[in-house]
């Protein structure tokens, strides 16, 4: 059974060309969904456009523990097939590379059947009300202060200074894990946050606790305090927090009952009071281009102004949708904005929509016959992501413990800040492919790593045609700049985890490592730092794409946006989503993007009053 929010607002209804709102927001994910709700709550008529449907009442999405099922679900999944490099031979060595067999099934691996078509590396996105915040694991962490201050240093806008972002967190947060009154947190916002139970750490005789204590020692903390440290507030406000290596309690955007909290909830709550909040939602609606006028306020030679959006209506119109039927199109109409158009399609679709609308590198647009509105070479450039990897093993018997979550600095880090976020436990996560993950049975044991502060943001999002239903070409160009440094930092994290696991003792030990050094734990002859770096260079994965429409300085030729999210060289157009970050924000971008949405709300409302 499908769970849908049936409404007269469904985009299957053909609209009049004169349909006009104050604001149009394209995309309902962590950037666009909260922004649209905020603008409506401020009294402005707002249209929110979403290419997918609504699964907010579906337990597969509403229960955050079902994130594996939701991210695999064809009901909302968009499959982007990305590359990690320009080297075809290297791409074929990714062990979860995916092939279309031609009979409706996928082959995963490096020995495909004859005639199979190579697709690439799966990068699932969610076409659904709430965006990728509806199919992720909901992990919440904050960027490093230097990530926020990067914008201050490049643009001079002091409103981006790190302390101001604590106020924004408190505005949107509804903390569900600490007593009311904690000055670091908010309790009246729309986004619930909850944490994990650390009671399992009280059993000093378990192999899992022995590993935990050794891990605690290796990151520079007192092992006897491990059961206390594991309850540390990962979203807390500490002096010099970015330099503190410690255990933490993993936080998620969910409530204490395990119900997902996302932009979906906030948008639906806003729609529930139409008399008070003028928000209109169009589902199953694909934005095909932004519409512009040639002059602004009647003045000659003024920059082009965004005045609306062209839309195509119908389900599964975008070719990344596995349910898309080739040749299917929908009716095309226009909707208009009195004030502004805001693009919030994410790191892949926002640059694509800008380019389809005539904003981007002029040579690329000319190649596809797209009339140039503004030459912005940075659109689709600077694509970045956290590198992710893992060390996986099989224990002799199940450890039956909870998660160990830590943020720490490896000894070889490039600066004084922490550079690794890890979570360890009896699970399997090795990236994405159709039907992921591999289940290694009850004895599986893993530490998964997110590398913080990647040195290389050389990825690109490029058009393959002028057809808005086509999927762009996406290449992350992993490790292209300063790659060896990043690789060795990831290797150092794996070495630390391996050393901690050696403390397990019987009955869980000995461990049999599956990767990156197959064989008895710590005894593989091919486990040098270089051996492991070679492995991670081929097998690292990611799912935190950012920065493809990045904010930057006036004199930066690749800057797409100013510090108020305005697209440079045109009026009435902003981009508010993870593509706006100039650098990858910390370890997980979901919460930072929802904070970004609140920051954009304040900028837009301030401009509306001027």
Q: For the stretch 4-38, what's the b/e string if a residue is b when 16 or more beta carbons lie within 10 angstroms of its beta carbon?
A: ebeeebbbeeebeeebbbbbbbbbbbbbbbbbbbb
Give Cα separations from 193 to 4, 146, 199, 477 (angstroms).
25, 24, 19, 34
Helix crossing, 32-41 with 263-271: angle to 10°? 30
Q: What is the DSSP letter of 29?
A: S
Q: Are 543 and 387 in contact (CB under 8 A)?
A: no
Residues 28, 130 contacting (CB under 8 angstroms)? yes
Q: Please determine, for residue 193, whether its predicted confidence score (pLDDT) is greater than 50.
A: yes
Q: How many helices (H) and strands (E) does the chain have?
A: 14, 26
Nearest residue to 589 (alpha-carbon basis) of 347, 240, 248, 318 = 347
| H or E element that contains 53 | none
Q: How far apart are CA 55 and CA 75, in angstroms?
A: 9
| Torsion angle defined by CA atoms of residues 423, 427, 430 and 431, in that order, rounded to the nearest 10 degrees | -80
3-state DSSP call for residue 252? strand
Query: In terms of pLDDT, which residue wins out, 12 or 598?
Result: 598
pLDDT in tens, 412-425: 999 999 999 999 99
> Percentage of residues in the chain with pLDDT exceeding 70?
96
Burial of 535 (0-12, 13-18, 19+ CB in 10 A): buried
Q: Is 160 helix (H, G, I), strand (E, B) or coil?
A: helix
pLDDT one-digit tens code per residue, 37-76: 999 999 999 999 999 999 999 999 999 999 999 999 999 9
Give the model confidence (pLDDT) of 89-143 as tens digits.
Answer: 999 999 999 999 999 999 999 999 999 999 999 999 999 999 999 999 999 999 9
CA dihedral 388, 394, 395, 396 (to 10 degrees): 180
Q: E strands, 164-261, where?
A: 173-175, 191-195, 246-248, 251-252
Cα–Cα distance between 287 and 342 in angstroms, integer? 12
Mean pLDDT, the chain, rounded, equals 95
Contacts of 489 (CB under 8 A, 6+ apart): 410, 412, 413, 414, 419, 420, 451
| Cβ contacts of 50 within 8 Å, gap of 6 or more | 27, 28, 127, 128, 129, 281, 282, 283, 284, 285
**Tens-digit pLDDT profile for residues 234-257:** 999 999 999 999 999 999 999 999
Higher-confidence residue: 126 or 1? 126
Residues with Cβ within 8 Å of residue 607, at least 6 apart in sequence = 564
Host H or E run for residue 343:
strand 332-343
Tens digit of each residue's pLDDT (9 = 90 or more) over 476-497: 999 999 999 999 999 999 999 9
Is the pLDDT confidence value at 295 over 70? no
Phi, psi of 65 (to 5 degrees): -65, -10
Cα–chain center distance at 149:
20
- Looking at 379-459, which runs of residues are DSSP E strands? 388-394, 404-408, 420-425, 444-451
Q: Supply the DSSP string of 107-140, one letter for each residue.
A: EESSSPPTTPEEEEEEEEEE-BTTGGGGTS--EE
Instruction: Calculate mean pLDDT across residues 564-588.
Output: 98
Residue 12's pLDDT band (cuts 50, 70, 90): very low
Q: Could you tell me the sign of the dihedral formed by the alpha carbons of 495, 499, 501, 506, in that order?
A: positive
CB 545 within 8 A of CB 511: no
pLDDT at 198: 86
Number of neighbouring beta carbons within 10 Å of residue 272 = 10
**Of 10-24, 276-290, 295-309, 362-376, which range is least confident?**
10-24
CATH superfamily of 20-60+135-170+258-383+545-609: FAD/NAD(P)-binding domain (3.50.50.60)
| Domain ranges for the chain | 20-60+135-170+258-383+545-609, 197-249+386-539
Distance (Å, rounded) from C-alpha 446 to C-alpha 455?
26
For 49, other C-beta atoms within 10 Å of its C-beta total 27
The answer to whether residues 516 and 494 touch, using CB atoms and an 8 Å cutoff, is yes
3-state secondary structure of 322: coil
What is the distance, to the nearest Å, from the Cα of residue 90 to the centroid of all Cα atoms in its chain?
Answer: 25
Tell whether residue 136 is among the known ligand binding residues.
yes
Q: What is the pLDDT of residue 203?
A: 82
Contact 340, 551 (CB under 8 A): no
Q: Are 425 and 403 in contact (CB under 8 A)?
A: yes
Q: How far apart are CA 443 and CA 428, in angstroms?
A: 10
pLDDT range class, residue 5, cuts 50, 70, 90: very low
Which residues have a Cβ under 8 Å from the Cβ of 338 and sit 6 or more positions away?
20, 21, 22
Query: Nearest-CA neighbor of 261 among 141, 69, 130?
Result: 130
Confirm or deny that 139 is annotated as ligand binding.
yes
Please give the CATH architecture assigned to the domain spanning 197-249+386-539. Answer: 2-Layer Sandwich (3.30)
């Amino acid at each position: 059974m499908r769970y849908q929010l049936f409404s007269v607002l469904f985009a299957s209804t053909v609209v009049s060309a004169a349909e006009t709102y104050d604001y149009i927001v394209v995309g309902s994910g962590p950037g666009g969904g909260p922004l649209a709700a905020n603008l409506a709550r401020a009294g402005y008529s707002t249209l929110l456009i979403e290419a997918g449907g609504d699964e907010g009442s579906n337990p597969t999405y509403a229960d955050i523990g079902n994130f594996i099922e939701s991210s695999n679900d064809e009901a909302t999944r968009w499959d982007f097939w990305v590359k990690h490099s320009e080297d075809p031979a290297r791409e074929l060595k990714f062990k979860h590379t995916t092939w279309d067999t031609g009979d409706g099934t996928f082959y995963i691996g490096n020995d495909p059947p004859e005639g199979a078509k190579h697709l690439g590396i799966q990068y699932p996105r969610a076409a659904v009300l709430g965006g990728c915040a509806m199919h992720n694991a909901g992990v919440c962490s904050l960027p490093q202060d230097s990530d926020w201050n990067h914008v201050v240093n490049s643009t001079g806008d002091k409103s981006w200074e790190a302390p101001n972002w604590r106020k924004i967190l408190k505005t949107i947060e509804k903390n569900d894990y600490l007593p009311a009154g904690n000055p670091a947190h908010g309790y009246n916002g729309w986004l619930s946050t909850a944490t994990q139970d650390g009671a399992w750490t009280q059993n000093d005789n378990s192999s899992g606790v022995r590993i935990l204590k050794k891990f605690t020692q290796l990151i520079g903390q007192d092992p006897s305090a491990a059961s206390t440290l594991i309850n540390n507030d990962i979203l807390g406000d500490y002096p010099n927090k970015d330099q503190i290596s410690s255990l933490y309690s993993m936080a998620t955007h969910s409530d204490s009952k395990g119900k997902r909290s996302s932009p979906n909830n906030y948008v639906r709550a806003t729609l529930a009071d139409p008399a008070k909040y003028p928000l209109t939602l169009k589902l199953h609606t694909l934005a095909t281009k932004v519409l512009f006028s040639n002059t602004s306020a009647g003045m000659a030679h003024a920059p082009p102004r965004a005045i609306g959006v062209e839309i195509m209506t119908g389900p599964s119109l975008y070719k990344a949708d596995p349910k898309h039927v080739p040749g299917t199109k929908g009716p095309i109409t226009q909707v208009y904005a009195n004030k502004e158009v805001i693009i919030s399609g994410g790191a892949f679709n926002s640059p694509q929509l800008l380019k389809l609308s005539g904003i981007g590198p002029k040579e690329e647009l000319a190649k596809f016959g797209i009339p140039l509105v503004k030459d912005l070479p940075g659109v689709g450039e600077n694509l970045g992501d956290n590198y992710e990897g893992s060390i996986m093993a099989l224990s002799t018997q199940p450890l039956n413990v909870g998660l160990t979550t830590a943020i720490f600095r490896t000894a070889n880090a490039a600066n004084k800040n922490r550079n690794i976020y890890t979570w360890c436990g009896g699970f399997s996560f090795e990236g994405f492919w159709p039907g992921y993950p591999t289940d290694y049975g009850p004895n599986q044991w893993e530490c998964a790593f997110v590398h913080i502060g990647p040195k290389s943001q050389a990825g690109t999002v490029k058009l393959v045609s002028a057809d808005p239903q086509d999927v762009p070409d996406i290449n992350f160009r992993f490790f292209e700049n300063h790659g060896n440094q990043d690789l060795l930092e990831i290797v150092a994290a794996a070495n630390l985890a391996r050393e901690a696991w050696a403390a397990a003792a019987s009955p869980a030990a000995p461990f049999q490592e599956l990767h990156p050094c197959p064989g008895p734990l710590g005894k593989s002859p091919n486990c040098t730092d270089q051996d492991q770096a070679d492995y991670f260079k081929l097998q690292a994965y990611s799912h935190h794409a950012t920065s493809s429409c990045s904010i930057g300085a006036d004199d930066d030729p690749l800057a797409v946006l100013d510090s108020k999210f305005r697209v440079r060289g045109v009026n009435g157009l902003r981009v508010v989503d993870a593509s706006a970050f100039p650098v990858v924000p910390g370890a997980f971008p979901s919460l930072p993007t929802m904070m970004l949405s609140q920051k954009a709300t304040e900028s837009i409302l301030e401009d509306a009053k001027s």
